[in-house]
Amino acid sequence: MLNSKRFAIPLLSVLLVAAVSLQAQAPPQTSTEPRETSRPYTGDLSVFERPDRDQKLQVDRVMDLLGITAGKNVADIGAGSGWFTVRASKRVGPTGAVLAEDINPLAIEYIGKRVNKENLTNVRTVLGQPTNPMLPPTSVDAVLLLKVYHEIAQPIDFMRKLRLALHPGAKVGIIDKNGEAGNHGVNHEIVEREMAEAGYKLSATYDFTKGDGEDYFMIFVVK
């Protein structure tokens, strides 16, 4: 179950309230020229379940650095197959919660079936929008965007709305790769600049998430 101290009303009601609140409070993206982004992935979700992915990404170290521990509330943005959702669920335990967000209804359905099959009682799915993660206000302690930032069409607008869902001191982790939309990447300098405009500051940068150094792992906090 979701942490009762932080989710005192039914999740559906909270999400509806969140949607209204986020639409009303978050300003639109205006000051940065739009850049080309990759088309969101809609293919076979099983590709995210490679057996060596834990080791390559060093996912336990990622969760350590994001402060994902027992009792925390975590958001998995662009959750896909639920690969990270499952691992975060085990980390936070029964007193924590994981919100698995995706804009693809088929991914939400896939994760929902996985949650039931694996009896993950602390996971809830959230169908987001391309410019709005649709998370409850002040609901999460840590967020991970795993290879999804390069697909967000209006990242500044999206990240401003995400900011409203964060607890004070929450950490936002972005794992992506240097490149352009054509090769499903985005240079880390662009991410840092856009995140700053969305109201975040860079807290730390790491390159251990892939052995060849192509990937980067950036952690942001609200300014």
Instruction: Return the pLDDT at 24.
Output: 41
Residue 170 lies in a domain: yes
Task: Read off the pTM.
Answer: 0.81
- Cβ contact 62:209 at 8 Å: yes
| Residue 72 pLDDT | 98
> Could you tell me if residue 1 is inside a domain?
no
Instruction: Assess if residue 21 is contained within a domain.
Output: yes
Cα 108 to Cα 43, 68, 161, 190, 212, distances in angstroms: 13, 22, 20, 29, 32
Tell me whether residue 138 is in a domain: yes
123-127 sheet: strands from edge to edge? 123-127, 97-102, 73-77, 140-146, 166-177, 215-222, 200-206
Whether 6 is in a domain gets the answer no
**Structural domain boundaries enclosing 25:** 11-30+57-222
Nearest-angstrom CA–CA distance, 111 and 79: 8
Q: Is residue 192 part of a domain?
A: yes
Longest alpha-carbon distance in the chain: 46
Paired with 177 in beta bridges are: 215
Q: What is the pLDDT of residue 2?
A: 54
Q: Residue 69: give its domain's CATH number.
A: 3.40.50.150
- Per-residue pLDDT 10s for the chain (223 aa) are 455 444 433 443 334 334 434 444 444 444 456 777 777 766 767 676 778 888 888 999 999 999 999 999 999 999 999 999 999 999 999 999 999 999 999 999 999 999 999 999 999 999 999 999 999 999 999 999 999 999 999 999 999 999 999 999 999 999 999 988 777 899 999 999 999 999 999 999 999 987 666 799 999 999 9
Query: Would you state the pLDDT for residue 21?
Result: 43
Report if residue 35 sits inside a domain.
Answer: no
The pLDDT assigned to 22 comes to 42
Q: Is residue 41 a part of any domain in this protein?
A: no
Number of domains in the chain: 1
Are 62 and 208 in contact by the 8 Å Cβ rule? The answer is no
pLDDT at residue 98, rounded to an integer? 98
